[in-house]
Structure 1
Amino acid sequence: MSVYKPESADTANETVLEVTDLKKYFPVTGGILNRHVSDVKAVDGVNFGLESGETLGLVGESGCGKSTLGKTVLRLHDPTDGRIEFLGTDITSTSRSELRDVRRNLQIVFQDPASSLNPRMTVAELIQEPMRSLTDWSTDKRESRTLELIEEVGLNESHLRRSPHEFSGGQQQRIAIARALSVNPRLVVADEPTSALDVSVQAKILNLMDDLQDTYDLTYLFISHDLSVIKHICDRVAVMYLGELVEVAPTDRLFDDPKHPYTQSLLSAVPRASAQSSDDRIVLEGDVPSPESPPSGCRFHTRCPKYIGEVCEDETPELDEIESNHWCACHLHD
């Protein structure tokens, strides 16, 4: 199985992350003896790659496995199977003690900044916590780095002495971003970083992340269900359904010419400023199947408006390159 990476005229671009056939199953137990009876297949055979300085958007409905994939890539969840290669090193089975050196280069920004910031710590302590745990920097260096970052994210030195609850949601997310960047990471997983914020604040946070990416040469895996946010910030988009990637393409191409019926349905639901015919809206029938017992064949066939028969039920479509740098898993394109 190939690993999907962007084509680039600059062949010297460094591959930061390669994920091959990654799986994360959560066991389900039952019965009097509480035995293992099945698995929730949250991530089931995912392949993708990321180059330095790139932003890959990961989209899909709630429960499709987006956040689990992001946390598994960071080894916050141990993978069930597959391979995670970071900067050329396989970290799939790296022990917890050995992961300390890797953690400095892998950071995350969570969806809800209020719950991710310790209320008993000041802003200065929050930003310096990763530096104390993951580096051997001196006190002076940690303090100068903290001051640099708090100004980079649009706050000032006086804010360092305050507690997280004294700030608005947007300011709390700025603090969370400063904390994630404190140890100079190479890859940042942004897990719905703007979904808890007002629309006006969302735009400011997205612009901030864009600016910081240029300043610190960051690579983002940006998880969101908001396609307008994805379109604004991402270079490529990966669409996820029931633990599998069904389409991967450059952002403009995916929005202009989606190939998978699931992607088409997602894009048809995006509100538009101009009048939209009801005929353009694709309404999916039925409920999302359980990841504990996904459908056979194409997992989307139970809801697909372009279902073409038994081949959809019996055969699992491969994520194939149907056009240059445009991948799709659908029997319509076999």
Structure 2
Amino acid sequence: MMSFEFTIEKNQNPKTKPDPDKLGFGNHFSDHMFLMNYKTGKGWYDGRIVPYQPLCLDPAAAVFHYAQEMFEGLKAYRAADGRTLLFRPDMNAKRTRRTNERMCIPDLDEDLQVAAIKALVAVEKDWVPEADGTSLYLRPFIIASEPFLGVRPSDEFLYVIIASPSGSYYENGLAPTRIFVEDEYVRAAPGGTGYAKVGGNYAGALKAQEKAHDKGCSQVLWLDGVERRYVEEIGTSNAFFMIGDEIITAPLDGTILPGITRDSVLTLLRHWGMKVTERKLLLSEIFQAHEAGNLTEVFATGTAAVISPVGELIWKDKSVTINNNEIGALSQKLYDEIYGIQTGKKDDPFGWVVEI
């Protein structure tokens, strides 16, 4: 890996750290952030760590008008022996490059990205909480900062990384969730930005999420954007369905996010010798499997929650309860294994953990 140097300006007015038992998710932010600029003809330059503060942007900045931006998400963990660990940051860097290519954002070297993340976490080590289930959530993002009105790629960008000490993504932790099947709105369509990590995917999903909440559900199960027959993602997470001895998840065909936790789950399942299939799965097949007693587990995977078991699916006037609305044995095993690796409690045979 190449060596990078960044300037550091220490915050002279550090914040009072929040109660570790009342963190929530994404509610608190650390003392510092990473910034780096881009200009056409100059490239990426002036990587620096500065006190956490508001950004100063021109009202005509392209990000406000044409949504040219992207973001990522990963976590730093406190191991029992005091070490600070990252989980597969190279995968976030690779995904950033794929998103940038789709969004006409300048390429950003993978080693540079990982070096910037490590540098910020090294400065903010005291912000990594120690309690079980907590972490320092890291949010790298890139925004088009050039002031102009016109539909073209920006010539100026700002790369930012902020850090947020966080607890569980869902208030009830690993308690199974109630999921609403959305067949009116779509999250992504072939040829779109479904595989990219961009804010527009999430803004467009808010309407369906409102519908789900109105029906007492915590998230949405998205169907494909063409036929509305095949299951794709659960909210902002990848979806897995265990039917008999087969564990099924949607293929990476451009409409779903290539999740890092998804890849980790697939790797573990195959390592354990389980039957795993990446294929299109009909919603009707899921309901038929439930009627036959073969639908044993459903769960979502993502950086924020790691594993989120599903206890009930709601579709039109139909409702199916999965595993008596209890977390399944496989969901629990996957969570224990991944979280154990992330926090240094379990062996890491895949070389996923990076120590700061």
Larger relative helix fraction: 1
**Normalization by structure 1: what TM-score?**
0.26
**Normalization by structure 2: what TM-score?**
0.25
